Amino acid sequence: MPRDPELAKARRAAGPLSGPARLGHIPSMPLSPDELERYARHIVLRDVGGPGQQKLGRARVLVIGAGGLGSPLIQYLAAAGIGTVGVVDDDTVSLSNLQRQVLHGTPDLGRPKVESAAAAIARLNPHVRLVPHPTRLTVENGRRLVADYDLVADGSDNFATRYAVSDACFHEGRPLVTAALGAFDGSLTTLRPHETGPEGRPNPTYRCLFPSPPPPGAVPSCAEAGVLGALAGIMGSLMALEVIREIVGFGEGLVGRLLMVDAMSMRFETLRYGWDPENPLSGTGRAGAGSPPA
């Protein structure tokens, strides 16, 4: 008898344990007995199954920031069995981080966050490879960093990084899941501007949604305004869900939709947005652009 009563069901649901890869054209590897049991609750899901779990195992995801958003995001990606998780962060763990950055603990104070993240993920799931990038993503290194990954998830806390990440993903043709936190609110969207939408027009870029960053000082920092720790957990978990959805391919994602969370009134709302022909990345006025799509 299997140790888990669902394990036999998971084995049946997994179906063939190898097949053609879709992420990075890497051949599928059979799921081991340990993986079958570990991911049994995924495998029995009709819209995930064995093939979906194998896609997760082949995926390479780059996470920007191992802080409030990155902590739950990294943990759930690792628990889900993402094969390779890269983490970009140049900061060290401080005591004020621990109210919301649940990836780190008191013994990690002063430790580089990428090292703390690697240790935490090794304890959580030995099947996941964590690649530390102890640096800050910038305009200069952004394209090089994202090019090695299939998908990027941005949990950074400043506008310079958000624009640098989104521009790099556009130029390298990488999907981007990006979120932001306020004191009692958060937002989340998915970007695939290198692809065309169902109506034949380009998918929107980050700059279609936010054409330019706000003036310096217009938006208070986390240290100035504060942030509800549990809200970071909610938004980071939603990021993980959206990353998993993009890899496996189930349901309706957030391309062209901005999810807004209001923790004060516990309201979730979705705002639709579209391609802006004036945007500097894929707009009609950019260098070398032709006529607008029909």
In a domain, residue 252? The reply is yes
In a domain, residue 12? The reply is no
pTM for the model stands at 0.88
Beta bridge partners of 187: 180, 260
- Residue 27 confidence (pLDDT): 55
- Residue 234 confidence (pLDDT): 97
Structure confidence by residue, pLDDT tens digits, 120-134:
999 999 999 999 999
Mean pLDDT value across residues 106-112: 98
In a domain, residue 88? The reply is yes
Is the pLDDT at 5 greater than 60? The verdict is no
Structure confidence by residue, pLDDT tens digits, 258-275:
999 999 999 999 999 999
In a domain, residue 205? The reply is yes
In a domain, residue 7? The reply is no
- CB-count burial class (<10 Å; 0-12, 13-18, 19+) for 12: exposed
- Residue 223 confidence (pLDDT): 77
Q: State whether residue 177 is helix, strand or coil.
A: strand
Number of domains composing the chain: 1
Nearest CA to 197 out of 120, 257, 153 is that of 257
* CATH code assigned at 172: 3.40.50.720
Is the pLDDT at 278 greater than 80? The verdict is yes
Sheet holding 257-262, edge to edge: 129-133, 84-88, 60-64, 151-154, 176-181, 185-191, 257-262, 267-272
Give Cα 37 distance to the centre of its chain.
Answer: 25
Residue-range definition of the domain harbouring residue 67: 57-272
User: Considering only 24-38, 41-55, 72-86, 122-136, which range has the smallest mean pLDDT?
Assistant: 24-38
Nearest CA to 89 out of 72, 122, 108, 111 is that of 111
